[in-house]
DNA sequence: CCATAACTGTGTCCGTTAGACACAGTATAT
DNA sequence: ATATACTGTGTCTAACGGACACAGTTATGG
């Protein structure tokens, strides 16, 4: 797409990289790198300077090799980013150790996902659109569905609940992302308030809501608030089905 | 960021483009274009061939001018994309005409947002991270908050509810996006099922959930399901506060 | 023990991208 | 009529992802 029309590899190559194991033919010089190392270097770059700074050149420089050497381990940049995402997710949390049934477990799961998005903000812009999920990402999904296994929900509903939680964690991480320390309510509130100021006639409801929010001083509860509402709704459904 | 280090204009330029009015000095030749026209051309390109195809060159070609002519109206590409987003949103829906109080109104609002994401899928990858909101985007927000104006919620809670709905609509549009007609449950379900197949031992809960979902045959209810759960939770809160 | 075959990393090249800048043409105000 | 402000164009650059040929390295088969 972007430059040079790229390799028309398609999602096939990404699948092989994420799920296939290195067959490791034995002949030839020892590989000085591995796809995992490259992914880690890319993650380091993305964490430090954003996804835009992740360049084959930059990653190669940080690893002390030439840009083209990376293509021995990684089919292309999109596949590298896909591997970065799955590597950055890491092992899914062990929810079986969380006591209290499905609700505290799902809550811990969603909170962990949110913290992950905060730790690696670039995943928000990297993991968009239809893409191939990796083993770790699927493992996260498995854990969440497993937490709902005992309930009266059917399979489709379980998946829908998980999608809801992902959406909320993701969307909230997105707004609390960049400006170096600004918290959720603060970042969003101040940005919007600055726009509404002087235009209260065009946005009256928004203006009063912002005044009320600023007066009550309650901050950074959007994440918890959303989880509470969603889980309340789910609990209601579970109760109705029993 | 990406190439050529770009203009270090910052969000200032985006704000001017989105909120400032063209002062329109009178001397010189008639401008053959306007920022709005350029944004519409960019939207057409993005709708047809994706955000990756939106190039200054491509947009300029479609408008019958040179690439550099665009820079007379638009500070740079990021500002153009910002204007594309706000233009693509269009006028916010008139919720006052929806009968039945806050719940049907919020539902209609969120559904409209979802349809908008489906109509312009590129907004999903364009509108990430902290960015300057435009007048239309703020107008959408105003409508949603206004729908909640009569309830017992305080300002911060109203904003939190809206954030939740945005997150769900966005996240769901993201999964039903590309593969040309694949519906939500189908697209996500089939993609995941293909990965789980042959690995049922690693993802047991997921495997049974997928089997159950496939058996029940219920499809494309993830959107409605999420809205119902969220609004149930909100209704519960409103009832508790009264 | 040696030759072959497979594998690795490097250098060079290409097309495309966003944007800078100087220039020529045009329409209005004085 | 002339100066001034504005428009669109052509040319240039740095950086990007990726193709490709090549030289160096190591395990394997004879």
Nearest-CA distance A209 → chain B (Å): 4
pLDDT of residue B12: 83
Closest CA to A84 of A76, A93, A92: A76
**Sequential DSSP letters for A115-177:** HHHHHSTTHHHHS-SS----HHHHHHHHHHHHHTTTSS--HHHHHHHHHHHHHHHHHHHHHTS
Nearest-CA distance B33 → chain A (Å): 26
**Cα B140 to Cα A187, A213, B86, distances in angstroms:** 19, 19, 10
Average pLDDT over residues A212-222: 82
Stated as kind and residue range, the H or E segment containing A190 is helix A184-196
**Sequential DSSP letters for B150-206:** TSS--HHHHHHHHHHHHHHHHHHHHHTSSSTT--HHHHHHHHHHHHHTT-TTTSHHH
pLDDT of residue A220: 75
**Cα A57 to Cα A45, A118, A127, B197, distances in angstroms:** 11, 26, 22, 37
Q: pLDDT at residue A45 above 60?
A: yes
The reply to whether A40 Cβ lies less than 7 angstroms from strand C is no
The reply to whether A4 Cβ lies less than 7 angstroms from strand D is yes
Asked whether the beta carbons of A106 and A161 are under 8 A apart, the reply is yes
Q: Which residues of B touch A158 (CB under 8 A)?
A: 209
pLDDT of residue A186: 67
Cα B121 to Cα B8: distance, rounded to the nearest angstrom: 28
Residue in A124, A229, A230 nearest the CB of B129: A124
Average pLDDT over residues A52-76: 97
Q: Which residues of B touch A124 (CB under 8 A)?
A: 128-129
The reply to whether A68 Cβ lies less than 7 angstroms from strand D is yes
Nearest-CA distance B3 → chain A (Å): 9
Asked whether the beta carbons of B15 and B132 are under 8 A apart, the reply is yes
pLDDT of residue A200: 97
Average pLDDT over residues A103-108: 98
Q: What is the SS3 assignment for B131?
A: coil
A59-68, A216-225, B43-52: lowest mean pLDDT where? A216-225
The reply to whether B72 Cβ lies less than 7 angstroms from strand C is no
Burial B140-169 (b: 16+ CB within 10 A, else e): bbbbbbbbbeebebbbbbbbbbbbbbbbbb
Cα B201 to Cα A41: distance, rounded to the nearest angstrom: 32
CB contact A218 to B (< 8 Å): yes
Strand C bases with any atom < 7 A from protein Cβ: 5-12, 14-22, 25-29
What value, to the nearest 5°, has the Cα angle with vertex B187 and ends B88 and A150? 115
**Sequential DSSP letters for B58-109:** HHHHHHTS-GGGGGGT-S-HHHHHHHHHHHHH-SPP-GGGS-SSHHHHHHHH
Average pLDDT over residues A66-83: 97
pLDDT of residue A8: 58
pLDDT of residue A167: 93
Q: Using the beta-carbon criterion (under 8 Å), do B141 and A206 form an inter-chain contact?
A: yes
Asked whether the beta carbons of A210 and B155 are under 8 A apart, the reply is yes
Q: Which residues of A touch B206 (CB under 8 A)?
A: 138, 141-142, 145-146
Q: pLDDT at residue A34 above 80?
A: yes
Chain B, 54-113: which have a CB under 8 Å from a chain A CB? none
Q: In the structure encoding, which two tokens stand for residue A189, read together?
A: 């509130």
Å: B73 CA to D4 C1': 21
CB contact B50 to A (< 8 Å): yes
pLDDT of residue A237: 97
Average pLDDT over residues A116-129: 93
Q: Which residues of B touch A202 (CB under 8 A)?
A: 139, 142
Stated as kind and residue range, the H or E segment containing A16 is helix A11-19
Stated as kind and residue range, the H or E segment containing A40 is helix A35-49
Residue-level pLDDT, tens digit, chain B, 242 residues: 444 444 556 788 899 999 987 766 678 788 899 999 999 999 999 999 999 999 999 999 999 999 999 999 999 999 999 999 999 999 999 999 999 999 999 999 999 999 999 999 999 999 987 889 999 999 999 999 999 999 999 999 999 999 999 999 999 998 876 554 455 566 677 889 999 999 999 999 999 999 999 888 766 789 999 999 999 999 999 999 88
Asked whether the beta carbons of B197 and A138 are under 8 A apart, the reply is no
pLDDT band with cut points at 50, 70 and 90 for residue A28: confident
pLDDT of residue B84: 98
DSSP conformation class of B31: P
**Which nucleotide's C1' sits nearest to the alpha carbon of A26?**
D27
pLDDT of residue B186: 67
Closest CA to A159 of B120, B210, B159, B230: B210
User: Tell me: the pLDDT tens digits for A142-197?
Assistant: 999 999 999 999 999 999 999 999 999 999 998 876 554 455 566 677 889 999 99
Q: In the structure encoding, which two tokens stand for residue A223, read together?
A: 């994440």
Closest CA to A82 of A2, A28, A136, A140: A136
Closest CA to B120 of B63, B186, B43: B43
pLDDT of residue A49: 95
Cα A147 to Cα A162: distance, rounded to the nearest angstrom: 10
pLDDT of residue B184: 56
Residue in B124, B168, B230 nearest the CB of A128: B124
């Amino acid at each position: 797409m972007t430059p040079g029309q790229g390799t028309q590899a398609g999602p096939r190559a990404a699948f092989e990289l994420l799920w296939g194991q290195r067959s490791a033919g034995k002949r030839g010089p020892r590989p000085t790198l591995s796809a995992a190392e490259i992914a880690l270097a890319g993650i380091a770059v993305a964490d430090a300077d954003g996804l835009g700074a992740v360049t084959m050149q930059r990653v190669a420089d940080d690893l002390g090799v030439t840009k083209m050497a990376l293509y021995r381990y990684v089919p292309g940049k999109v596949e590298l980013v896909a591997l970065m995402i799955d590597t950055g997710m890491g092992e899914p949390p062990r929810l079986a150790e969380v006591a209290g049934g499905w609700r505290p477990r799902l809550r811990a799961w969603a909170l962990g996902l949110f913290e992950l998005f905060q730790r690696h903000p670039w995943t928000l812009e990297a993991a968009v659109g239809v893409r191939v999920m990796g083993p770790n990402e699927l493992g996260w999904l498995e854990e969440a569905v497993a937490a709902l296994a005992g309930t009266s929900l059917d399979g489709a509903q379980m998946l829908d609940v998980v999608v809801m939680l992902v959406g909320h964690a993701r969307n909230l991480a997105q707004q609390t992302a960049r400006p170096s320390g600004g918290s959720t309510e603060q970042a969003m509130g101040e940005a919007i308030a600055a726009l509404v100021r002087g235009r209260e006639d065009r946005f009256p409801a928004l203006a009063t809501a912002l005044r009320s929010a600023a007066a009550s001083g309650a901050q950074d509860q959007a994440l918890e608030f959303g989880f509470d509402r969603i889980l309340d709704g789910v609990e209601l459904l579970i109760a109705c089905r029993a």
